[in-house]
Amino acid sequence: MRFENIRGSIVAMITPFHEDGSVNFEVLEELLERQIAAGTDGILTLGTTGEYPTMSHEEDAAVVAKTIEVVNGRVPVMVGSGSNCTATQIEKSIQYQDMGADALLLIAPYYNKANPEGMYRHFAETADKVHIPCILYNVPGRTGCSIPVSVVERLAQHPNIVGIKEASGDMSYAMKIAHCVGPDFAIYSGNDDITLPLLSIGGSGVISVFANVMPEACHRIVMDYLTGNHERALETHLRYLKLMNDLFLEVNPIPVKAAMNMMGLNVGPMRLPLCEMSEGNAAILRATLREAGLL
């Protein structure tokens, strides 16, 4: 399926594990079918929520292959191929493209960071090597650096860079991006709690953690807003705002996997250095899930 400025809810999929830590492909298939049945507009695999930093390259490829196989063209599949090594990012991007990915998510180079020119080349040289659309990923809370607005403006001119996942939570930054890019450059909220503000400045949707828990509601919030039913979109967004926030009581994806296990979805544990939630936070999350009618 071609990725053409997809509008709506793109779920940032968790990766389910067995108790021994191996990938649970049976549950992965069940989760993908659940998403598609609920109207999810796109699938992101190997994002931050998918715990890819603790997975081997072979596991990454196996998860991508299974995701593409199960989805089977019903919705677009975006794959996180980013790395703080540009050569590795290019290698993985070509690999996932050849496996059938519809789009790629490219994170800002973390730890080693970069100056603006290096940041530009990191993305542009990757986009030069593939023919499927590339989405920038700005998440300074994870990477220790933000993609400068001037760099986004330059990259938006690249024919193969079609959007940004904006996960800084900084609406001033998002406004500057919206001001300097054209109408064909998609802006996706990377923070569920500010999806509506991002949509109000021309955003195309959300790449969502919340959608793992409530895929239908997440899809409905975005599509209601985009089709002009702003009042209902706001009502639904506010109804589930506490749940969206409580999914970040601890570092993502600890709370969302805990929530899914509480709901009986059997997604298993995290891999170290991520571990189970504290008892206090787990109790808060359980109460919020109950209030939302999920338990």
How far apart, in whole angstroms, are the C-alpha atoms of residue 35 and residue 16? Answer: 14
| 1 band by pLDDT with thresholds 50, 70 and 90 | low
Q: Does 176 qualify as catalytic in the annotation?
A: no
Question: According to the model, what pLDDT value does residue 140 have?
Answer: 92
| 4 band by pLDDT with thresholds 50, 70 and 90 | confident
Contact 41, 6 (CB under 8 A): yes
Closest CA to 187 of 230, 221, 150, 137: 137
Question: According to the model, what pLDDT value does residue 5 have?
Answer: 78
Question: According to the model, what pLDDT value does residue 101 have?
Answer: 97
Token readout for 268 is 């298993």
Cβ neighbors of 123 (< 8 A, separation 6 or more) are 106, 134, 136, 151, 155, 158, 161
**Active-site residue (options: 165, 173, 188, 240):** 165
pLDDT digits (tens, 9 = 90+) for 138-153: 999 999 999 999 999 9
Q: Does 137 qualify as catalytic in the annotation?
A: yes
Q: What is the mean pLDDT of the chain?
A: 96
| 230 band by pLDDT with thresholds 50, 70 and 90 | very high
Contact 80, 107 (CB under 8 A): yes
pLDDT digits (tens, 9 = 90+) for 165-211: 999 999 999 999 999 998 899 999 999 999 999 999 999 999 999 99
**Active-site residue (options: 52, 120, 137, 240):** 137
